[in-house]
Amino acid sequence: MVDSNASSGSPEETPNPNPDGNAPSESDLTLDALARKVQESLSLGKKHKFWETQPVGQFKDLGNASLPEGPIEDPTPLSEVKQEPYNLPSPYEWITCDIDSEEMVNEVYNLLTNNYVEDDENMFRFNYSKEFLRWALNPPGYFRNWHIGVRVKSSKKLVAFITGVPARIRARDHVVNMAEINFLCVHKKLRSKRLAPVMIKEVTRRVHLENIWQAAYTAGVVLPTPISTCQYWHRSLNPKKLIDVGFSRLGARMTMSRTIKLYKLPESTVTPGFRKMELHDVPAVTRLVRNYLSQFVVAPDLDENDVEHWLLPKENVVDSYLVESPETHEITDFCSFYTLPSSILGNQNYSTLKAAYSYYNVTTKTPLLQLMNDALIVAKQKDYDVFNALDVMENESFLKELKFGPGDGKLHYYLYNYRLRQELKPSQLGLVLL
Amino acid sequence: MVEWQQLLQSILLGLIFSYLLAKLISVVVSFKDENLTLTRARSSTDQVRPKSESKGGESRDEPSGDMGAVHDVDSVIAEHGSVRNESPAGSDDDDDDWEGVESTELDEMFSAATAFVAAAAADRLSPQKVSSDVQLQLYGLYKIATEGPCSTPQPSALKMAARAKWQAWQKLGAMPPEAAMEKYIDIVTELYPTWLAGLTLKNKGGDGDAPNNDSKGPMGPVFSTFVHEEESGNDFKMDAIHAFAREGEEDNLLKAIESGVSVNLKDSEGRTPLHWAVDRGHLNMTELLVSRNADVNAKDNEGQTPLHYAAVCEREAIAEYLVKQNADTVVKDNDGNSPCDLCDSNWPWMQHSANK
């Protein structure tokens, strides 16, 4: 079953491996796209000077089925890729960040901790741990010079950062070498200097130099043009703290007492054979995950090295559990989440929000609802405050029932220099970016 | 004689024609040089419109000259909007080791002023004409502020406009950029006394977009929190006294009691004001209610007392107070749980009194 269509030639002639892949909702999607298009032209119409010059799907092409799927631009010969870095304003210079160096990871950590993504009301800011950054930035085959910093020449202070890591991502039947672009961060005091576009161009140039021509990234804002738009959902594990810090609110008619009761979880997991993933599980988990992800239109193509890196548990970074059948000792199910704390800004009692983010989950025997409930239980045991999940893959099937509530955050997924014929439903997307 | 005249005439015509041709060529060339300003040639202040910084040198033909360039008036306004919106949140939490490279207030004020001038030019919202002298002065100051002293060669005499601009820049000599920015802002303020007010107004108008864009950044993950959903109107009913207890409004609560409302009045879920005060963690309100003879062992429709609430919500001080006021620690709710059973924390006075 593993990627049975991978070798067939033309995507148009290949029968869709997933019966509810794209056919039923075509009209829905077109409507959505049109609505978005109108909304775009009203509110954001002129804001994409930069992206309109880039090989990305453009708003004006939405719903134009005559455009072929695949790369938008052909690769240029490597000799024609610009060899020198782009120019920065004169006080600044490019550096390559060696994330293995304790000193450098500290600098990056401090930049992100003080300047990275916040919520709309500026009450929380992501606080990726150093171990997390090492994990996220040094996967198999990573390129050190895709970890790009900008610093002030005179003071050597790091003021901006952007990264790429290599990933094989499958879009329908084509596995494409891509870069996953992430951690774009410009110091708050330099945001008026418009560094972001030149940083994006610079990372693109360095990706091109490795003969890679596609990329995947996400954003909270609408740019040209999302391949899919997903929504965050949240499951309270520590409702009292979440209310106290303003992550969630207590309605006027709701009592704290009842809210706490509502989110109470059993002390221990219920699925027999549920245990932590270990190194010797890598081959079995790889088979399970590959097979599962093959049903989605866009998903990573993970081999054993990737699984060992991305899915083997790492303390306070990524947690993975699986179900080993007590009788056959076969690995039948798998779930995982990564750890992304946030700083709580301006609260006297609490400084950190500990959040688990649903990563890749696979079931063949256990009901997904039950498996995810067990994931919630271990997250609660490990003292997480909230469990977050996107509505990607099959997540929608358990969100409401497991008492996840909708979030105010929309996450838009993008591919650089790769066109899909139509926007995907979140359930057609098998990709989670950190 | 006639031939002389004809000859003279044709020579003159030839001269005039070749002059015009040369002029035409130079105009074409200078248009090519200044293609960025071409599109705005008709607006009254086009000459002071900030142009793309040419630091980008060879990258001029790159798809976008985003570094500091004012390509698009709207986006610049939006950008300044977002920068200004961000400052209250991010202004003072990480200042300690900052080493003098930040964009200062002056920087931001200056770029806001340039954006305003560009916007004024584009929108033609200036009722009064800005004299070309002033335009040139602004241009010179802008160049000093963004690029420093003039070091480019003098344009040819045929390019009148370019030459005038060059002179405006060149005559400012080695003026410091800060001084240039201040002067620029002064002139703008003199021309449009209300420009700053207009800018803040626009920010407010664009509230929906600008802060979002800023907090979410141009790309990367998103920080999401719960959407606040208003509970739908079922048949739940509560009185004012419950709301006063919930919000800790002691004066209002006292007035309600004095006007004859029962201190043990139940809402549609059977909760008394004391349940609400305990639930929200108001110790003072709890003491006030108890001092007004509120029933410490009142049960709601699920059989829970205020002490059940205190135990579930881990309100330690309140629970201790209630126990001292003889609240029952072993009374069972409809699920068969006592406050003691529901208490995850290890409160000795709770266990102790339960064992009695």
Q: What is the pLDDT of residue A177?
A: 97
- Return the pLDDT at A47: 58
- The answer to the question of residue A61 being in a domain is no
| CB proximity B57 to A under 8 Å | yes
Last-in-domain residue among A193, A219, A245: A219
Contacts of A285 (CB under 8 A, 6+ apart): A277, A307, A311, A320, A322, A331, A334
- Given a contact cutoff of 8 angstroms between Cβ atoms, the answer to whether A369 and A398 are in contact is yes
Domain assignment present for A50: no
pLDDT, mean over chain B: 72
Same domain as A382, residue A256: yes
Would an 8 Å CB–CB cutoff place A74 in contact with chain B? no
Q: Based on the domain organization, do A357 and A417 belong to the same domain?
A: yes
| Residue B302, pLDDT score | 94
Shared-domain flag, residues A113 and A194: yes
**Confidence bin at A378 (pLDDT 50/70/90):** very high
- Per-residue b/e over A281-317, b at no fewer than 16 CB within 10 Å? bbebbbebbbebbbbbbbbbbbeeebbbbbbbebeeb
**Pair (A376, A303) in one structural domain:** yes
* Nearest chain A alpha carbon to B112: A192
Residue of B nearest to A243 (CA): B226
The yes-or-no verdict on residue A349 having pLDDT over 70 is yes
- Residue numbers in A near B271 (CB within 8 A): 255
Look at chain A and report how many structural domains it folds into.
2
In a domain, residue A39? The reply is no
User: What pLDDT is recorded for position B105?
Assistant: 65
| Residues spanned by the domain of A259 | 229-428
Contact A406 B227 (CB under 8 A): yes
Six-digit token string for B248: 């800790």
Residue where one domain finishes, among candidates A190, A219, A248: A219
Residue A28 lies in a domain: no
Residue A136 sits in a domain whose CATH number is: 3.40.630.30
> Residue B106: its pLDDT value, please?
73
For tokens 């916007």, the residue is: B119
Q: Where are the domains of chain B?
A: 75-84+104-218, 240-355
Whether residue A273 sits in one domain with residue A178: no
In a domain, A167, yes or no: yes
Is A40 inside a domain boundary?
Answer: no
- In this prediction, residue A175 carries a pLDDT of 97
Does residue A214 sit in the same domain as residue A236?
no
Among the partner-chain residues B86, B223, B314, the one whose CB lies closest to the CB of A409 is B223
Which position has the higher pLDDT, B253 or B355? Answer: B253
A307 and A210 share one domain: no
Co-location of A204 and A88 in the same domain: yes
Amino acid making up residue A398: F
> Which of A219, A254, A273 is where one domain is finished?
A219
Which of B66, B227, B312 is facing A198, going by the closest CB pair? B66
Q: What is the pLDDT of residue B231?
A: 62
**Residue (of B320, B317, B314, B263) closest to B289 by Cα position:** B263
pLDDT of residue B2: 57
| Residue A151 resides in a domain | yes
Residues A108, A158: contact at Cβ < 8 Å? yes
Instruction: State the CATH number of the domain containing residue A406.
Output: 3.40.630.170
Res. B298: pLDDT tops 70 = yes
The pLDDT tens digits of the residues spanning B47-65 come to 444 444 333 333 333 333 3
Predicted TM-score (pTM) of the model is 0.71
Same domain membership, residue A267 and residue A324: yes
Higher pLDDT, B158 or A382: A382
Residue B16 identity: I
> From A233, which residue of chain B is nearest by alpha-carbon distance?
B226
What is the predicted ipTM? 0.84
Per CATH, the architecture of B240-355 is what? Alpha Horseshoe (1.25)
Least-confidence region, from A79-83, A248-252, B130-134, B270-274: B130-134
Average pLDDT of every residue of chain A? 89
Strand residue runs (E) in chain B: none
Please indicate if any CB of chain B lies within 8 Å of the CB of A388.
Answer: yes
Both A171 and A236 in a single domain? no
The average pLDDT across B156-178 equals: 83
Mean pLDDT score, B104-108: 68
Q: What is the pLDDT of residue A395?
A: 97
CATH architecture of B75-84+104-218: Up-down Bundle (1.20)
In this predicted structure, what is the pLDDT of residue A396?
A: 97
Model pLDDT for residues A186-234, shown as the tens digit of each residue: 999 888 777 888 999 999 999 999 999 999 999 998 888 899 999 999 9
pLDDT, tens only, A5-62: 333 333 333 344 444 434 444 455 555 555 555 444 444 444 577 888 889 988 888 7
Nearest to B227 among A181, A188, A407 (CB): A407
Same domain, residue pair A102 and A127: yes
A52 inside domain = no
Residue in A43, A44, A155 closest to B99 by CB: A155
Residue of chain B with shortest Cα separation from A54: B63
Give the per-residue pLDDT at A35: 53
A47 vs B: CB within 8 A: yes
Asked if B218 and A200 come within 8 Å (Cβ–Cβ), the reply is: yes
Q: How many CA atoms lie within 13 A of B275 on its CB side?
A: 27
Pair (A252, A164) in one structural domain: no
Nearest-CA distance from A350 to chain B in Å? 16
What SS3 state is found at A256? Answer: helix
Element (H, E) at A416: strand A405-416
